[in-house]
Amino acid sequence: MHRAVYSCSNIVGPAMIRQCLKCRVPQQLSSRAYSVVPTPRDSEEKEMLHRILRVDHAGEYGANRIYAGQMAVLGRSSIGPLIQEMWDQEKVHLAKFTEILAESRVRPTALLPFWNIAGFVLGASSALLGKEGAMACTVAVEESISEHYNSQIRALMEEDPDRYTELLQVIKEFRDDEIEHHDTGLEHDAESVPGYWILKNAIQLGCKAAIYASQRI
């Protein structure tokens, strides 16, 4: 019933709706004709999309820093090239999300400096536990991230799969990459690090907290 009334008022046109009183922010204009993310139709959709993009950007930024930390310690060891390869893929992800953020005018999370340091410290300290420690950290983080991407994919599919096709494509592709990293980590003896279970769960708890915080702040 409410929807029918709402669609009636659309006849009058968006320009008038912009003048609306209830401090609804006027439609923000973007200068790009085509973008991966569709222009939000109302403030709820905008809020949802911006949260998704903000937290994904923060996640890729953090993953980037984790690999940087691991490379700083293990860069010259035998596992160096593998970590470098995974790091390069994360860099591609980060570049893509940075581009999407800029064109959709999404506010980046204010916690970025914090993730910068925390990610590097996590990567470096897990690498200090040796090659297996670094792989265990990779497994834990990639598992968190792929679970998170999956829940985003589910949410977007529930909303409107046709509207978000390109965005879904991007997220699916990145999720597949993350799962590949996860499997690579397992292949390289991640589970043989002492205290694997506690390390993995601690890191995953931290990731969950980071995701929660980045969505809001």
CB 139 within 8 A of CB 185: yes
Long-range contacts, stretch 185-188, CB < 8 angstroms, 24+ apart:
185/135, 185/136, 185/138, 185/139, 185/142, 186/135, 186/139, 188/79, 188/82, 188/131, 188/132, 188/135
**92, 102, 121, 157: which one binds other proteins (CB under 8 A):** 102
Phi/psi of residue 30, nearest 5 degrees? -120, 145
Build a one-symbol-per-residue string for 112-151: x at contacts with other proteins by CB under 8 A, - elsewhere.
xx--------------------------------------
Confirm or deny that 99 is annotated as ligand binding: no
Q: How far is the CB of 61 from other proteins (least distance, A)?
A: 8
CB 144 within 8 A of CB 207: yes
**98, 125, 150, 204: which one binds other proteins (CB under 8 A):** 98
Stretch that binds other proteins, among 96-104, 152-160, 166-174, 185-193 (CB under 8 A): 96-104
Q: Which residues bind other proteins (CB under 8 A)?
A: 4-5, 8-9, 11-12, 16-23, 25-26, 28-29, 31, 57, 98, 101-103, 105, 107-108, 110, 112-113
